[in-house]
Amino acid sequence: MKKCIILLNLITTFGFVSCNDFIDVTPISEETTANAYNTAGQIEAALTGTYESFHSAEYYVWDFILFQDVRTDNCYAGGDNPEIFQINNYEIETTHSRIFTHWSNIYNAIAKANLVLDRVDLVNDPVLTEERRLEITGEAHFLRAYHYFTLVKMFGGVPLITSPVTSAEGENVEVARASVEDVYEQIIEDLEIAVALLPDTYGSNASINKGRATSGAAHALAAKVHAQKPSPNYMLVLEHIQELEGSSANYQLIDFAQLFDGNNYNNAESILEVQYLGQDFGNYGPQLLLPPSISGDAWRKFATPSVDLVNAFDEENDEVRKNASIIFEAVQWNDEFWGNSSGSTIPFSYKWKNANGFASADNTYLLRYGDLVLLKAEALNELGELNQAVTEVNKIRNRAQLPDLTNEQSNSQEVLRQSILKERRLELFQEGHRWDDLVRNGELINTMNNLEEIDLRTGNPVQYNVTPANLLLPIPQQELDRNPALIQNPL
């Protein structure tokens, strides 16, 4: 792993990545950009470095919880970080360090994918078979699509960079924002290539099949893209999910608790997940969320599950998913929503189970089949196939030991739409989907402005006052200062 990161550090990348946090342009070995991509081993190392962004980019480590769960009705900020409270309170400024970090890190990841795509066809090494060359190409297209999908959902239209940038001069780095539609077109184009080139599996090693892009992962992501884009295409959503379900990878729903017990990663339900080994290659996210009895420290933790979320679990008598997702513990700090006094019992986000001192071996699901089953239900409902949609939802509910949807929960398209949205909330809490789900269904503003939350310090209700301008994050001020071609989002 260290070798492939060194290889990626040799890339001369300017401008659009905005900072040199992850890419050092100074050669630190005998490899140079002129000779570092001539062998099969070198291009494989470059591809591995592209996957490494899921470990080094803070958004993919744990900030996705802040922007998807804390920024919605699922969680409170918790902790003591002013910038996380700003995320919680819809007070994100253009100089907020996290949006600059995520913009930079994700464009850095795109730069790595672009490099692989630029160099893979130039490798003249008999060890690199044509079959493997095509797989590498498919993997890089998938990864670029994944990162642009992250960006377009956060910022709207963004600069499209699809080849390595080797000059810091003018037009090479002063790139205007593409339209949202054009960004989605690029994502879809990349995924169409990926589904054509990628295999269902790479063999029998589950950690490889779940740790690398496959055709199943590409179909799953394409389904999510076609549902999320401004003009959804639900027929294509269904087509991609049907391809996923027909894969020889044989994706299946498994016991919900086993998904998150820390002992069953790379399972039959997993489509793609970030692989952590612990120790020097560990996940620091769990330490930030788990209670003192597990984390071993006593400071206030982040992403506290909301009263509204816990009530939603309880209204459904959903003990299976609640117990797998949330743990309650008495603490020695004051929590302004659960108990404004020391010794109060409060909930903690619990889908990661092991802290291990900021070096957990708990993986992160990027794509899993349960999400796609509910997305299939959503697509069927939007196409007027309510009975089939209900069947899909009931698969998820029955897995959670809940009864089938009642007639009251499914007797019209709008009623079923809300039932599916609630089911996704309970199924996917802490996995980075709630914001996207609310935005896609046009429910974000209404949900947040009608949320009943009481600040126990004052006894007053919390007013979020969400407006359409809050649907996108501001473009980082550092990028605006550097690139005069960029135009800020409405503030």
All CATH 1.25.40.390 domain ranges in the chain, comma separated: 2-198+471-482
Taking Cα atoms as reference points, which of 429, 364, 380, 437 lies closest to residue 400? 429
* pLDDT reading at 8 higher than 80: no
Q: How far is CA 65 from CA 264, 341, 434, in A?
A: 22, 26, 9
Instruction: Please state, rounded to an integer, the average pLDDT across all residues of the chain.
Output: 92
Give the pLDDT confidence of 290-321 residue by residue, as tens digits. 999 999 999 999 999 999 999 999 999 999 99
Q: Which residue has the tokens 């969320």?
A: 289
For 131-143, what is each residue's pLDDT tens digit? 999 999 999 999 9
User: Band of the pLDDT at 25, cuts 50, 70, 90?
Assistant: very low
Does the pLDDT value for residue 62 go beyond 50?
yes
**Looking at the domain covering 2-198+471-482, what would its CATH class be?**
mainly alpha
pLDDT tens, position by position, 186-234: 999 999 999 999 999 999 999 999 999 999 999 999 999 999 999 999 9
Task: Tell me the pLDDT band of 165, cut-offs 50, 70 and 90.
Answer: confident
CA distance 187 to 228: 12
Its sign, for the CA torsion 275, 277, 281, 286, is positive
Rg (C-alpha) for the chain, rounded Å, is: 22
Could you give the percent of the chain with pLDDT greater than 90?
A: 89
